[in-house]
């Protein structure tokens, strides 16, 4: 009886752990000059899948920010990544059209900005906000 | 399918086919194909690379131009000098040329005009389309700024949503976007070119490997085919029973494996100078010469095998010294030992008599021709002797052919001791022998003829009996000078006939009168046949007299030939020929038929006394040949006479033969005798009949041979034989007739001996039937007169 109870508890624990470890999916599509992504996602581990539908090369940076109006560099064309560095949770280098990339990250609840920081792209519309809700 | 038609799939062994050519050609074709493909791809790729470089240069230039355009617009906008419209134009035309192909314009102080191909890749085209749109947006924004129109109101075409309304910043953002997409397009184009080059390198490597593999495969096929071809040759050479040997300066340089089978000698023993050791000493010079000069010809030589036997080899010599694969003289030899032996044997058989081993007629004739040829040059004399055995036929008939053969062998052996080693003794056939004496005059020829007869004088033991045999020898001497072998042989034959005619056991030397006397005996057979057709034969009758009544009590029918060409021919000349040629059968029938018909005529005329018998000779050949009984009965029936009116005279030889023919003869005679036909034994005392045979033979009369009757007055032996014969006849209850009675003294003697009948010239010669008719009429009249 005691042994059976131990097995039952262990099985439940494993099941509960498996459910809690499953990451959320975040599908991001980039194209000239627009980023499509869900507006909300649950906090915790997130698997980000980034697809570039071109025709230009694009990168993807995710930074925690309260607003999409990010600080710019002096050129007025690109966001200031140095200033955003402490808040940056993901930075994917430029990839060509047709590329699909995946990244796993842990997102705390809060407000985030997803953007491409190639010259002019941020300013030309390649930015979107994401709200990470606590579970 | 006909067996003569070869199915297409049938493998035909053709080791001499030039198999190596097709693989080599295939290898060359593959190399050419792969090389052409490789070069073509390289050219195409190089050309593509050149275009790619130009495209990358122009695409890269767009970035600089976009930045230059922004500076130029801002300078003009600030009132300073600039030409933004020119830069915008270059940007637009370059963007079009990059997308659709064409000429990208020159940039002052920088580049020349550049021909560009249209963009090919999907990504490349999408980027260049985007670039063209951005160039359009950039130029439109710059123009609006310079024209002091609201920049934010410019309709943008590249899906950009610029977040600022600041004209200068908008212009710089558009320039950055244009620059960025141009750079990316250039990278894409360069990447495509890189990929093409990588693909080309990969393809070149694959092509190289494939070409190498194909070449290796074909090379392997070539090696395999060559090996197979070599194996075919090796098999052909080694499996052949022929001996192949190659000779160089150092002697035998190669010998095929067949030598082991042929000679039992290991190959190594024949290599180098070893080959000569096995060649027969007499042939060594010829072999050495052939191996030295290599003239193509056939060579026959002997090689010794390991058993010490000499094998005859027939070789073809080929000079292959100029052949770089051989560099020597090649002997291709076959073992012809058996063939040579067979040829020798056949040659010997063709020129020698199988029974006695003596030369045959062909060889004798050849030797005679050669001797005559020598004689015509040197004038040397030579002689030819023809020997015919007397009484051989009787031996053959009575003792059988085996005994006859034995006799011939013995005679050949005895003759061999009578001649010189240089003389040629031959058996021409049957019981005829011939002897060629070179450098011989008549005296020597006669000496040797006498010696031959002397050798035969000793009795020969044959089948348990001692036989005494005679021979007739014809001698012809050629005194030298030209001559013909056929003349010599014919003359020797004539001389031999002359000797035979002269009596037994003698020789005769040819002289030219002899030819005329004997005539051409060899033509008699032909004339006999003609004579039969022409009716040249007739039957004469010689009366037989009863010594008691002195009356004609019978006649012997005798065949006579009056040849149109020769005139009357004595029976002694043509009867033996008729017997030997089989013509005795139709002649015998003729006599029998004629005699029966004559008897019928006399009978119808009432001329025949009681018990009158017409006697007809029946030869041994007729008797043993069979059919005599039927012939006699047919003749009797045709003539309608009684069997008792006909008598058959047979020789002892005919009745003593112990073979099947003799049995049949005896049976037929017995049957005829049972039917009433009379039987007499002719020439009694000259044959080999025994009393035992005589006792069981159905005989009515014994005729004492004329040779005894003629000697009865002077020779006690003949008298004794005659006496005994007559007594014998009486003892077994038959009549005795004396043949050849020619004188009154002989008649007196036989009369005294108690002989019953007589026949001979003393009473009457053989005469035509008309003469006998006359005598019978006289006799009838005399008897009638006496009765009266």
pLDDT at residue B21 in the model: 63
Within 8 A of A34 by CB-CB distance, chain B residues are 159, 161
Q: pLDDT tens-digit profile of A15-53?
A: 444 445 588 999 999 999 999 999 999 999 999 999 999
pLDDT at residue B73 in the model: 93
Tell which wins on pLDDT, B522 or B352: B352
Which secondary structure element, helix H or strand E, spans residue B298, and what is its range?
strand B298-304
Local confidence band at B9 (pLDDT 50, 70, 90 cut-offs)? very low
What does the alpha-carbon distance between residue B394 and residue B662 come to, in Å, rounded to a whole number? 13
Domains of chain B as residue ranges with CATH: 21-212 (1.20.120), 241-340 (3.30.450.20), 354-519 (3.30.70.270), 542-787 (3.20.20.450)
Q: How far is B72 from chain A (nearest CA, A)?
A: 18
Q: How far apart are the first and last CA of chain B?
A: 105
The average confidence (pLDDT) of chain B is 85
Local confidence band at B748 (pLDDT 50, 70, 90 cut-offs)? very high
CA nearest to B647, candidates B665, B672, B667: B672
Could you state, in order of their start, the residue ranges of all structural domains in chain A?
A: 23-133
Closest partner residue to A120 (CB to CB) among B130, B176, B187 is B176
With residues binned 3-state (H G I as helix, E B as strand, rest as coil), the percentages for chain B, rounded to 5, are 55, 20, 25
Local confidence band at B523 (pLDDT 50, 70, 90 cut-offs)? low
The first and second tokens of residue B669, run together, are 């005679």
Within 8 A of A118 by CB-CB distance, chain B residues are 180
> Residues B12, B17, B23, B29: is their CA dihedral positive or negative?
negative
With an 8 Å Cβ cutoff, are B160 and A76 in contact?
no
**What average pLDDT does the segment B625-636 reach?**
87
Tell which wins on pLDDT, B319 or B395: B319
**What average pLDDT does the segment A95-112 reach?**
94
- Show the CA angle centred on residue B602, arms to residues B599 and B603, nearest 5°: 80
Local confidence band at B296 (pLDDT 50, 70, 90 cut-offs)? low
pLDDT at residue B520 in the model: 55
Percent of chain B beyond pLDDT 70? Answer: 91
pTM of the model: 0.43
What does the alpha-carbon distance between residue B622 and residue B643 come to, in Å, rounded to a whole number? 19
The four Cα atoms A41, A42, A43, A45 give a dihedral, to 10 degrees, of: -90
Local confidence band at B56 (pLDDT 50, 70, 90 cut-offs)? confident
Local confidence band at A8 (pLDDT 50, 70, 90 cut-offs)? very low
pLDDT at residue B17 in the model: 55
**What average pLDDT does the segment B655-672 reach?**
73
pLDDT at residue B20 in the model: 54
For chains A and B, CB pairs below 8 A equal 76
Q: How far is A22 from chain B (nearest CA, A)?
A: 36
What does the alpha-carbon distance between residue B625 and residue B582 come to, in Å, rounded to a whole number? 10
pLDDT at residue A29 in the model: 96
Does B12 score more than 80 pLDDT? no
With an 8 Å Cβ cutoff, are B158 and A77 in contact?
no
pLDDT at residue B503 in the model: 72
**What average pLDDT does the segment A5-17 reach?**
46
pLDDT at residue B400 in the model: 80
B535 φψ region: left (φ > 0), alpha (ψ -120 to 50), beta (else):
left
Least confident of B350-359, B479-488, B523-532: B523-532
pLDDT at residue A3 in the model: 46
Three-class SS state of B83 = coil
Does B2 score more than 60 pLDDT? no
Q: pLDDT tens-digit profile of B169-199?
A: 999 999 999 988 888 888 888 888 888 788 8
Instruction: Note whether A45 contacts B: Cβ–Cβ < 8 A.
Output: no
pLDDT at residue B109 in the model: 66
pLDDT at residue B637 in the model: 93
Does A91 score more than 60 pLDDT? yes
Instruction: Note whether A72 contacts B: Cβ–Cβ < 8 A.
Output: no
Local confidence band at B691 (pLDDT 50, 70, 90 cut-offs)? low
Tell which wins on pLDDT, A98 or B46: A98
pLDDT at residue B373 in the model: 92
Q: pLDDT tens-digit profile of B233-255?
A: 777 776 677 888 888 888 888 88
What does the alpha-carbon distance between residue B193 and residue B216 come to, in Å, rounded to a whole number? 34
Instruction: Note whether A77 contacts B: Cβ–Cβ < 8 A.
Output: yes
What does the alpha-carbon distance between residue B596 and residue B636 come to, in Å, rounded to a whole number? 6
Closest partner residue to B158 (CB to CB) among A32, A98, A123 is A32
Does A60 score more than 90 pLDDT? yes
Instruction: Note whether A64 contacts B: Cβ–Cβ < 8 A.
Output: no
Closest partner residue to A33 (CB to CB) among B123, B161, B188 is B161
- CATH architecture, domain defined by A23-133: Sandwich (2.60)
In DSSP terms, B702 is beta-bridged to: B681, B736
Q: pLDDT tens-digit profile of B736-747?
A: 999 999 999 999
ipTM over 0.90: no
Least confident of B146-155, B257-266, B549-558, B560-569: B257-266
CA nearest to B426, candidates B368, B346, B361, B487: B361
């Amino acid at each position: 009886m005691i042994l059976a109870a131990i097995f039952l508890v262990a099985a439940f624990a494993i099941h509960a752990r498996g459910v809690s470890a499953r990451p959320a999916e975040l599908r991001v599509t980039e194209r000239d000059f627009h980023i499509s992504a869900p507006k909300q996602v649950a906090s915790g581990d997130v698997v980000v899948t980034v697809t570039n539908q071109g025709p230009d090369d694009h990168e993807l940076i995710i930074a925690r920010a309260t607003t999409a109006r990010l600080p710019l560099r002096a050129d007025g064309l690109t966001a200031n990544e140095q200033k955003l560095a402490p808040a940056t949770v993901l930075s994917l280098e430029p990839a060509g059209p047709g590329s699909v990339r995946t990244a796993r990250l842990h997102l705390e609840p809060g407000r985030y900005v997803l953007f491409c920081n190639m010259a002019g792209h941020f300013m030309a519309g390649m930015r979107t906000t994401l709200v990470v809700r606590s579970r | 399918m006909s067996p003569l038609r070869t199915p297409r799939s049938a493998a035909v062994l053709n080791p001499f086919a030039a198999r190596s050519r097709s693989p080599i050609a295939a290898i060359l074709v593959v190399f050419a194909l792969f090389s052409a493909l490789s070069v073509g791809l390289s050219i195409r790729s190089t050309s593509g690379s050149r275009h790619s470089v130009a495209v990358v240069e122009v695409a890269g230039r767009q970035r600089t131009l976009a930045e230059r355009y922004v500076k130029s617009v801002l300078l003009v906008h600030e009132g300073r000098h600039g030409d933004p419209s020119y830069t915008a134009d270059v940007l637009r035309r370059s963007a079009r040329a990059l997308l659709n192909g064409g000429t990208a314009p020159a940039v002052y102080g920088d580049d020349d005009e550049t021909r560009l191909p249209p963009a090919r890749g999907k990504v490349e085209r999408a980027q260049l389309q985007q670039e063209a749109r951005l160039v359009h947006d950039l130029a439109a924004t710059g123009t609006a700024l310079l024209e002091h129109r609201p920049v934010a109101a410019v309709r943008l075409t590249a899906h950009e949503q610029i977040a600022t309304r600041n004209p200068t910043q908008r212009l710089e953002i558009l320039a950055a976007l244009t620059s960025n997409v141009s750079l990316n397009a250039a990278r894409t184009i360069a990447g495509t070119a890189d990929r093409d080059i990588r693909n080309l390198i990969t393809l070149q490597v694959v092509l190289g490997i494939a070409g190498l593999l194909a070449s290796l495969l074909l090379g392997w096929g070539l090696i395999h085919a060559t090996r197979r071809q070599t194996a075919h040759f090796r098999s052909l050479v080694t499996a052949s029973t022929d001996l192949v040997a190659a000779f160089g300066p150092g002697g035998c340089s190669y010998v095929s494996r067949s030598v082991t089978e042929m000679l039992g000698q290991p190959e190594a023993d024949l290599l180098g100078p070893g080959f000569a050791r096995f060649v027969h000493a007499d042939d060594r010079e010829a072999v050495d010469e052939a191996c030295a000069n290599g003239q193509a010809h056939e060579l026959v030589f002997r090689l010794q095998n390991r058993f010490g036997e000499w094998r005859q080899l027939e070789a073809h010599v080929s000079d292959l010294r100029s052949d770089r694969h051989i560099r020597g003289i090649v002997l291709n030899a076959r073992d012809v030992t058996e063939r040579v032996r067979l040829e020798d044997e056949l040659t010997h058989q063709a020129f020698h008599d199988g029974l006695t081993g003596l030369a045959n007629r062909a060889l004798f004739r050849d030797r005679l021709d050669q001797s005559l040829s020598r004689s015509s040059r040197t004038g040397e004399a030579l002689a030819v002797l023809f020997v015919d055995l007397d009484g051989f036929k009787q031996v053959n008939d009575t003792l059988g052919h085996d005994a006859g053969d034995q006799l011939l062998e013995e005679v050949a052996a005895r003759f061999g001791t009578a001649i010189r080693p240089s003389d040629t003794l031959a058996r021409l056939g049957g019981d005829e022998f011939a002897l060629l004496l070179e450098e011989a005059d008549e005296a020597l020829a006669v000496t040797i003829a006498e010696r031959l007869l002397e050798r035969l004088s000793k009795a020969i033991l044959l089948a348990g009996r001692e036989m005494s045999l005679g021979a007739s020898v014809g001698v012809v001497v050629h005194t030298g000078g030209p001559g013909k072998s056929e003349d010599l042989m014919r003359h020797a034959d004539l001389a031999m006939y002359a000797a035979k005619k002269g009596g037994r056991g003698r020789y005769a030397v040819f002289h030219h009168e002899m030819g005329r006397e004997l005539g051409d005996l060899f033509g008699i057979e032909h004339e006999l046949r003609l004579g039969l057709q022409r009716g040249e034969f007739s039957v004469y009758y010689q009366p037989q007299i009863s010594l008691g009544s002195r009356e004609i009590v019978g006649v012997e029918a005798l065949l006579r030939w009056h040849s149109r060409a020769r005139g009357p021919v004595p029976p002694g000349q043509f009867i033996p020929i008729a017997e030997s040629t089989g013509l005795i059968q139709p002649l015998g029938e003729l006599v029998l038929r004629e005699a029966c018909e004559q008897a019928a005529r006399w009978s119808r005329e009432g001329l025949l006394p009681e018990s009158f018998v017409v006697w007809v000779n029946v030869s041994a050949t007729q008797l043993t040949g069979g059919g005599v009984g039927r012939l006699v009965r047919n003749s009797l029936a045709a003539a309608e006479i009684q069997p008792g009116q006909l008598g058959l005279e047979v020789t002892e030889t005919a009745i003593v033969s112990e073979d099947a023919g003799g049995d049949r003869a005896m049976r037929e005679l017995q049957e005829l005798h049972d039917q009433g036909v009379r039987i007499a034994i002719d020439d009694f005392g000259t044959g080999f009949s025994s009393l035992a045979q005589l006792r069981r033979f159905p005989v009515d009369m014994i005729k004492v041979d004329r040779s005894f009757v003629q000697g009865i007055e002077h020779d006690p032996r003949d008298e004794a034989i005659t006496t005994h014969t007559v007594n014998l006849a009486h003892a077994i209850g038959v009549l005795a007739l004396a043949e050849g009675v020619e004188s009154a003294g002989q008649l007196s003697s036989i009369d005294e001996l108690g002989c019953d009948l007589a026949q001979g010239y003393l009473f009457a010669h053989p005469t035509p039937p008309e003469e006998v008719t006359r005598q019978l009429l006289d006799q009838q009249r005399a008897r009638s007169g006496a009765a009266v």
